Structure 1
């Protein structure tokens, strides 16, 4: 499965969601102007990246048989 390009794309998209989530939580932790400026935007980016990751996961399951 590791040599499947779609699987690698799914893993990378999930990793991108994790990175964006950690950056967003980190900016919440800093507080002040940094949090006010970046936290909301990062969480919106996370929602978009998460939607893409879910779509890729569903595509992967559908194309590979779903069992």
Structure 2
């Protein structure tokens, strides 16, 4: 059971990092578009993607914390 939970934890950490990287890339693209055009109106798609990825990061981090708490509860 502990091995399974550790694998789930590793998967959640990987998803957290992936979401973080995608969110930062979307942020950088948004900034680049804003700098090139001088308008913030064209970047709405990237802003939506950035918000989605950052929300996903928070979800995966919360799930990882729950898995760690379960692992600690089982080990004691």
TM-score range, shorter chain: 0.7 to 0.9
When normalised by structure 2's length, the TM-score is 0.72
RMSD over aligned CA atoms reads: 1.6
When normalised by structure 1's length, the TM-score is 0.81
* Structure 1: runs of 5 or more not aligned: none
Higher relative contact order (CA 8 A, sep 6+): 2
Count of aligned pairs: 63
Whichever of the two has the greater Rg, that structure is 2
Question: 1 CA distance for matches of 2:47 and 2:10?
Answer: 30
Q: Which has the higher helix share?
A: 2
